Amino acid sequence: MSEKLEQISDHDGNFMTLQFASRSENEAFARVAVAAFVTQLDPTMDELTDLKTVVSEAVTNCIIHGYDNDPNGVVTITARIEEEIVTITIEDKGNGIEDLELAKQPLYTSKPELERSGMGFTIMENFMDEFEVVSNLGSGTHIRMKKRIESKKALYN
Amino acid sequence: MNLQVELEHHRRVLIVRLRGELDHHTAEAVRTKMDEAIQRGRAEHLVLSLEDLTFMDSSGLGVILGRYKVIKSLGGKMVVCHVNPSVHRLFELSGLFKILAIYENERTALSELEVVS
């Protein structure tokens, strides 16, 4: 872990790392923590809502799909701020996704019995400027996404 | 839990007001409370009022779509009111606004449903 932190801090800019149990009550904590970290960029309410929503989607996926609702899993979030760009990674060490292209289809869900809307990936793709998923069966899923926070830029211009 | 469900019966219409944050964690309780109220059977139609909903993600879309299906299967109509811009955006992305009528407030939603019934 310390090696990973050093690796992150080699980059310019500010960063944070958060690890927590894969319990649904932590979904609200995770999105509020990321939003609080990003507040230093002076985002608009809309930008904050977008970030909170994508964090909520990704963490929910870790819990429901990555760990099948097993509370013993660990979810790791990192957020990094470089100038006006925020990069968020959200990772689990769970099941992995069998067919990533299918999982990304709007309205597709592997768990229809749970009344999932199948919109998680679509929301992440739409609300962020960049979005990528790396998933390996049996070893977990890693999501990396970026968003430019416009409000600070507008302030400088 | 950071979400409250308020139920009010208005003739044949059940008004459901959600206050707080609707995510995966709170979705189950919302589903249970709404289904219990629907199954009690006094109401034919449902107005979902979102004025005090401060956060919603795709888990909320799942619950709303699920309740829409329940009401529809019982022959009723479900509408939504006080939809803020971020919730509206989720409705648009998912296509939900094509099947759910959206009204500005409870009064306009109720008067529409009373014309229907």
Boundaries of every domain in chain B? 3-116
Q: Which of A9-13, A33-37, A107-111, B76-80 has the lowest mean pLDDT?
A: A9-13
Q: Using alpha carbons, select from B28, B66, B22 the residue that is nearest to residue A52.
A: B22
Token readout for B112 is: 């529409």
Can you give the pLDDT at residue A152?
54
Identify which of B35, B31, B33, B38 has the alpha carbon closest to the alpha carbon of residue B13.
B38
Calpha distance B96→B21 (Å, rounded): 19
* B55–A117 CB contact, under 8 Å: no
Contacts of B87 in chain A (CB under 8 A): none
Confidence of residue A1 (pLDDT cuts 50, 70, 90): very low
CB contact under 8 A, A119 and B24: no
Distances (CA, A) of B112 to A33, A55, B46: 42, 37, 12
pLDDT, residue A112, reads 86
Asked if A71 and A111 count as a contact pair (C-beta separation under 8 A), the reply is no
CA gyration radius for chain A? 16
DSSP-assigned letters across all residues of B64-93: HHHHHHHHHHTT--EEEES--HHHHHHHHH
Q: Which pLDDT score, from 0 to 100, does residue B114 have?
A: 81
What are the chain B neighbours of A60 within 8 Å (beta carbons)?
23-24, 57-59
Domain boundaries of chain A, sorted by first residue: 2-149
Q: Which CATH superfamily is domain B3-116 in?
A: STAS domain (3.30.750.24)
pLDDT tens sequence across A88-131: 999 999 999 999 999 999 999 999 888 889 999 999 999 999 99
Q: Pick B58's closest partner by Cβ from A31, A63, A123.
A: A123
pLDDT (tens digit, 9 = 90+) per residue, B41-94?
778 999 999 999 999 999 999 999 999 999 999 999 999 999 999 999 999 999
A113 touches chain B (CB under 8 A): no
Query: For chain A, what is the mean pLDDT?
Result: 91
pLDDT at A156: 56
* Annotated catalytic residue within A47, A61, A80, A84: A61
Residue A26 clears pLDDT 90, i.e. is over it: yes
Instruction: Please spell the DSSP secondary structure of A97-154, one letter per residue.
Output: -S-HHHHHSTT--S-GGGT--S-HHHHHHHHSSEEEEEEETTTEEEEEEEEE-HHHHH
CB–CB of B93 and A53 under 8 A?
no
On chain B, the residues whose CB falls within 8 A of the CB of A27 are 23-25
Whole-angstrom distance, CA of residue B53 vs CA of residue A93: 33
CA distance B42 to B12: 7
Please report the beta strands in A52-105, taking only residues with DSSP state E, as ranges in sequence order: 74-82, 85-92
Question: pLDDT-based confidence at A3, cuts 50/70/90?
Answer: low
The per-residue pLDDT for A154 is 58
Chain B residue with the nearest C-alpha to that of A62: B24
How far does the CA of residue B30 sit from the closest CA of chain A (Å)? 12
Per CATH, domain A2-149 is 3.30.565.10: yes
> Regarding predicted confidence, which is higher, A12 or A137?
A137
Q: What pLDDT is stored for residue B11 in this prediction?
A: 86
Mean pLDDT value of segment A141-152? 91
B14 bridge partner residues:
B9, B46
